[in-house]
Amino acid sequence: MKVLKLVFVSALAIFSLASCSDDFGINAELVEVESLEASVGEEIDFSLKLEADSGISQIVVDSEALGIDYFENTENDPGGKLIELTAIVPADAETGDEYSIDVEVSDAAGNNQKEVFTLKVI
């Protein structure tokens, strides 16, 4: 009976931990577009709106295949930040290919949130 209680308590603890949110009030979203789409060899400009409840302390945006390598330490920007980026679709890309753009935002409290945006070749 003790083993059954232990299993039950362990399962409850795991479900409780799994249901907790880990976004810490940090958000990253595309501005003025629903999705990123571009043709082979095309250069596409886009903007990201970044927000953190306790202020932004660091921003990292990376996509080696698309030529994006952005890094910025900030002075705990309250309220958020708008950044503009340019992606260059490789000349050897094919229609239907998808490329990931990794965005990591850290807040003043030391929390971080990672978002992945996708650029689709049309």
Per-residue model confidence as pLDDT tens digits over 45-97: 999 999 999 899 999 999 999 999 999 998 776 778 999 999 999 999 999 99
Range of the domain at 90: 22-121
pTM score of the predicted model? 0.78
Q: Is residue 39 domain-resident? A: yes
Q: Is residue 54 domain-resident? A: yes
Strand order in the sheet with 43-52: 26-31, 43-52, 81-88
Query: What is the count of structural domains for the chain?
Result: 1
For residue 53, what are the contacts with CB-CB under 8 A and spacing of at least 6? 24, 25, 26, 107
- Predicted pLDDT at 23: 59
Q: Is residue 7 domain-resident? A: no
